A and B are shown apart, each in its own frame.
Chain A
């Protein structure tokens, strides 16, 4: 029998979390946090083990499959597996969670509950990416909300109740659509099954696909988030503590992007063919709108939160690009933002611990006391503004090139969208560098320096950031490190959506957005 890597990495952290009440602890949380860190690291090693032993990047289909009948009467089976869409995100999840456990070192309020929720979330999030059954997906998606809600509501900032309630209402409300669509798809055409493979084999009519697509777009659009469904995010991110923040930005947002690829594109390719231009437009709106709001924000956390929204715009454009390069770019952007977003939010938390304020007006000249912190902030901000040599640049470039050369759209549509998206290239450094300018540059703010203790970055913090920077720079220097792990799956996916588009989309002449003559792009060499 083969070792069940995926089931183990889902169930181990949850099982271990249940043991937390029995961990001997004197009440200061020290033993608990070592225990939690050990569990998170073991989970990371489990996922890496699965990747090394059971996963072949060259195969496009599902691997590491484990299937046990659970409730046959409902058609429910414990079915997990990984392909190119999920494997990188599973690794990202366990990686970021392990770092978040390390980032949570200073948490002293109710440590047992905190680490319990952290570990439960770890398993739940891996489950979201690994399960191959829509009902299970819905369960994992919902289960995963509860720890986040509690983490927000108990450990958050001043407005934590408002933020947590808003978060739960938004996501729970929107996930109703997942359930409805899942049921509809499962019961369609007799043969009741929730499994992705079975759903993929079904031949849904176009109108049905469009309805399902719209429902799922709302559900996942809240998570990603897509403007105007984003307003929970600045509140939730604005109130969360640093480790929760890392998980929110690093993993939770990726659930939206992953689900869009998995359900909207893979299961409903014809619906996707109809909706894709909308995705591109929404992506461009995300980029510009959120960059502007981020620029105007005076609260540091909310500023970074809006910048996350802006970066997610590239994911949308990539998904809607109908090109292997663009879709790969979207996938890479998710991973890259997972790493960069987590590092920035970790730094926000570390800075807040020292300044006790998040208002940019109350900071200034902090760089003189905290030089290492300044250096880390600079590196991570440069990564976020897509400096070459770091992962963000590669992913955005891939989206740009993929979309610009996509044969699915007319030249004028591509030109307008590319120009608007490129405006983000100007706006992003404006808000990020202004932020650095206001925190670190200039004369020291005497008032701040007088009543706070501005110590420089400690080794633990430098270690966390270095762990995140290694993959960021590694991918930036040689992107195939990451893209080769999912290349086959993405190419198969794009093949599927492209053939669906040729089936359903008839292009009237003189169309503004789409163009008819689909042909293989001519690339010499």
Chain B
């Protein structure tokens, strides 16, 4: 009987097999398969479920102290080169495997409720299984090259899922933007991988780390080049994990169905970048410049995400920018040389952010009963409010999520965020200050979302606001004919068990999982890096911990208090206080730091213009020369036809003249 770790290849293969089966069925027997909704859903859920069971077995082995397992085979070879593929299971992989499969199963159960009325139900589940497979493959990749393979595949799944409702223009544009932005990152990743292979002759993480250090120490590689290679590789995580300035795709990706936003664009895929940086720690660690760059980019991102989240009116976009900000925290941890802290935040964030997104999906689902299937209306918080009365489970879990992300002990977010801030305080105090301020903003904007959505009056039936929103989105007219035929409910209802159950399940780890990572006895650190765990426990002192923790709790409480005053008790008018007083700042934030506008002007329009002018050159100049040659041949033929007189003597004369000319020519040439 092989051990669970040796069977790890089954974890991505099982969902893949399920997805392929259903996918083939969809192409060959479209109607029949589309009608088999529940059987397909059960098949795919059980595939991912089986993968989850196997993942837990592997995690249990790792907890019991099993070492890493690696299995490789020759995938491509030519000359002396062998490119190897295979899988590798260690503590980091085991944690990610369990995390991804757990959330994937919950999201799939949730989707059964959320997508129940969608005509693409079967296709949706197929994509979900395909994504799970790619993501799980990424997690157990033993080398950079295989990571790149799965990296692209998760990107493709993200493309397919963001563009799932392909008849919506917004979704179509967002899908393309997501893929292309990620390709920009992959451009750097690919070049970086090539460069590192050139420098070290290997794709493996440890080998690259050791080889690069040797090369720099031996003088065969300047440390500047090594830093550039490391940073090129980092471009991949920058795009995937939505780090400034490649974060622009993530908020747009919210056009996809909400379960996708929870699974891919909050909990798993976007964390892949952080995971890769954690994997690359042996490569990055010796180069301080690389570490600092990562930390600075993480800090910019966390600040940018939080500031933009302050002004969002769309519930999902607000959560999306919050994700951007939290990913920034994780990168900051990586840059501070604390991968364990970053990974810990990744895990806690995955649980509570998945729960928040699924909660927002539950809200949107309920809102659609009232305002119709129009994302502009169903997701806007100006039309929500007072939902707590109608949706007790959703609101309770959402509240837990807000407390968790705000960093109030003993919920999950407190422990992981505090650990990052502690590490930053010790290594890069300036960046700590930014992270610290942002923690206050996080608490504020999360509770702003909560109060606007669940407290106060229910505002959905305010037709004036509806009309204003539709007009602002440029959808004023065709909305009426498309959507107003159905009967709309007066007020929303709590979602069914398929949607409520995952929320309740996710609430448990959101509350408790942080306790696994308490700084005085971090089981999480002991699992990932026993050495670091022991060191953390040894160096822990209450005198150091309490002031920092107290400060971050204090700023969170301050943020929550402001939110309560402004949105629950209506004592503070934020519009009068800030928006009207600093219109420039408000516009800057509402326009997302103008980054989309800049990208559009510079890159989108620029590349279109360049392409058009190249095509112009191609058809006018390059092809022009060809056609001109053709015309000249015609012209000379026209001219020469007068020599065709039909008189043999004349031809003989021409031939004779030609021979004479050739003789003279060759004679003079020698």
Do the two chains bind? Answer: yes
**What residues on A are CB-neighbors of B28 within 8 Å?**
462
Q: Is A297 an interface residue (CB 8 A)?
A: yes
Q: Is B565 an interface residue (CB 8 A)?
A: no
**What residues on B are CB-neighbors of A227 within 8 Å?**
622
B181 vs chain A, min Cβ distance (A): 10
Which residue of A388, A398, A423, A426 is within 8 Å of B150 (Cβ)? Answer: A388
Q: Is A360 an interface residue (CB 8 A)?
A: no
Known contacts A324-B79, A404-B194, A483-B76; A425 and B183 CB within 8 A of each other? yes
Residues 136-163 (chain B) with a chain A CB within 8 angstroms: 145, 148-150, 152-153, 156, 159-160, 163
Return the chain B residue nearest A479 by Cβ.
B76
Residues 324-347 (chain A) with a chain B CB within 8 angstroms: 324-325, 327-329
**CB <8 Å contact, A423 and B187:** yes
A462 to B160, CA, bound (A): 20
**CB <8 Å contact, B76 and A398:** yes
Return the chain B residue nearest A495 by Cβ.
B79
**CB <8 Å contact, A442 and B167:** yes
Return the chain A residue nearest B83 by Cβ.
A401
A323 to B81, CA, bound (A): 10
Return the chain A residue nearest B85 by Cβ.
A478
Known contacts A166-B626, A293-B611, A368-B167; A375 and B27 CB within 8 A of each other? yes
Which residue of B81, B607, B614, B615 is within 8 Å of A324 (Cβ)? Answer: B81
Q: Is A440 an interface residue (CB 8 A)?
A: yes
Q: Is B424 an interface residue (CB 8 A)?
A: no
Which residue of A371, A437, A523 is within 8 Å of B176 (Cβ)? Answer: A437
Which residue of B79, B159, B166, B187 is within 8 Å of A426 (Cβ)? Answer: B187
Known contacts A325-B81, A328-B78; A523 and B201 CB within 8 A of each other? yes
Binary flags per residue of B599-640, CB closer than 8 Å to A gives 1, else 0 = 000000001101110110010001100100010000000000
A4 vs chain B, min Cβ distance (A): 31
Q: Is B26 an interface residue (CB 8 A)?
A: yes
**What residues on B are CB-neighbors of A422 within 8 Å?**
187, 190-191
A83 vs chain B, min Cβ distance (A): 16
**CB <8 Å contact, A402 and B191:** no
Known contacts A324-B81, A400-B194, A523-B81; A478 and B75 CB within 8 A of each other? yes
Residue ranges of B at the interface with A (Cβ–Cβ < 8 Å):
26-28, 30, 74-83, 145, 148-150, 152-153, 156, 159-160, 163, 166-169, 171-173, 175-176, 179-180, 183-184, 186-187, 190-191, 194-195, 197-198, 201-202, 207, 607-608, 610-612, 614-615, 618, 622-623, 626, 630
A-B CB contact pairs (8 Å), 24 listed: A170-B626, A230-B622, A293-B611, A324-B81, A372-B30, A375-B26, A375-B27, A387-B152, A388-B153, A397-B145, A404-B194, A418-B194, A425-B183, A425-B190, A433-B159, A433-B179, A441-B169, A442-B167, A442-B168, A442-B169, A443-B167, A462-B28, A479-B75, A491-B79
Q: Is A444 an interface residue (CB 8 A)?
A: yes
Known contacts A367-B167, A422-B190, A433-B179; A402 and B76 CB within 8 A of each other? no
Q: Which 6 A-B pairs have the closest CB atoms?
A: A324-B79, A441-B172, A388-B149, A296-B615, A296-B611, A295-B611
Known contacts A430-B180, A441-B166; A524 and B608 CB within 8 A of each other? no
**CB <8 Å contact, A443 and B169:** yes
A465 vs chain B, min Cβ distance (A): 9
A442 vs chain B, min Cβ distance (A): 5
**CB <8 Å contact, B615 and A401:** no
Binary flags per residue of A371-405, CB closer than 8 Å to B gives 1, else 0 = 11011101000100001110001100110111011
**CB <8 Å contact, A522 and B26:** no
A360 to B233, CA, bound (A): 37
Which residue of A437, A440, A524 is within 8 Å of B202 (Cβ)? Answer: A524
Q: Is A27 an interface residue (CB 8 A)?
A: no
**CB <8 Å contact, A521 and B172:** no
Q: Is A289 an interface residue (CB 8 A)?
A: yes
**CB <8 Å contact, B79 and A494:** yes
A522 to B211, CA, bound (A): 12
A423 to B150, CA, bound (A): 21
Q: Is A419 an interface residue (CB 8 A)?
A: yes
**CB <8 Å contact, A365 and B153:** no
A328 to B82, CA, bound (A): 13
Residue ranges of A at the interface with B (Cβ–Cβ < 8 Å):
166, 169-170, 227-228, 230-232, 289, 292-293, 295-297, 323-325, 327-329, 365, 367-368, 371-372, 374-376, 378, 382, 387-389, 393-394, 397-398, 400-402, 404-405, 414, 418-419, 422-423, 425-426, 429-431, 433-434, 437, 440-444, 456, 462, 478-480, 483, 487, 490-491, 494, 520-525
B24 vs chain A, min Cβ distance (A): 9
- 5 other contacts beyond A398-B78, A426-B184, A441-B171, with CB at 8 A cut-off? A382-B156, A387-B152, A400-B190, A418-B194, A523-B81
**CB <8 Å contact, A441 and B194:** no
A482 vs chain B, min Cβ distance (A): 10
A74 vs chain B, min Cβ distance (A): 26
Known contacts A295-B607, A524-B207; A487 and B198 CB within 8 A of each other? no
Which residue of A296, A398, A402 is within 8 Å of B614 (Cβ)? Answer: A296
A372 to B371, CA, bound (A): 32
Chain B facing A: main interface SS: helix
**CB <8 Å contact, A521 and B153:** no
**CB <8 Å contact, A231 and B630:** no
**What residues on B are CB-neighbors of A456 within 8 Å?**
30
**What residues on A are CB-neighbors of B176 within 8 Å?**
433-434, 437
**CB <8 Å contact, A480 and B30:** no
**CB <8 Å contact, B78 and A429:** no
A422 to B75, CA, bound (A): 23
Return the chain B residue nearest A476 by Cβ.
B149
A261 vs chain B, min Cβ distance (A): 14
**What residues on A are CB-neighbors of B607 within 8 Å?**
295, 430
Which of B78, B79, B186 has the most chain A CB within a 10 Å cutoff? B78
**What residues on A are CB-neighbors of B194 within 8 Å?**
400-401, 404, 418
Return the chain B residue nearest A400 by Cβ.
B194
A299 vs chain B, min Cβ distance (A): 11
**CB <8 Å contact, A292 and B614:** yes
A289 to B173, CA, bound (A): 25
**What residues on A are CB-neighbors of B169 within 8 Å?**
441-443
Which of B74, B184, B207, B614 has the most chain A CB within a 10 Å cutoff? B614
**What residues on B are CB-neighbors of A374 within 8 Å?**
166
Known contacts A325-B79, A419-B191, A443-B169; A480 and B74 CB within 8 A of each other? yes
**What residues on B are CB-neighbors of A523 within 8 Å?**
80-82, 201
**What residues on B are CB-neighbors of A372 within 8 Å?**
27, 30
**CB <8 Å contact, B79 and A323:** yes
**CB <8 Å contact, B180 and A426:** yes
A431 to B610, CA, bound (A): 13
A385 vs chain B, min Cβ distance (A): 9
A98 to B168, CA, bound (A): 40
**What residues on B are CB-neighbors of A434 within 8 Å?**
176
**CB <8 Å contact, A293 and B614:** yes
A485 to B602, CA, bound (A): 47
**What residues on A are CB-neighbors of B623 within 8 Å?**
231
Return the chain A residue nearest B203 by Cβ.
A401
Which of A232, A387, A433, A479 has the most chain B CB within a 10 Å cutoff? A433
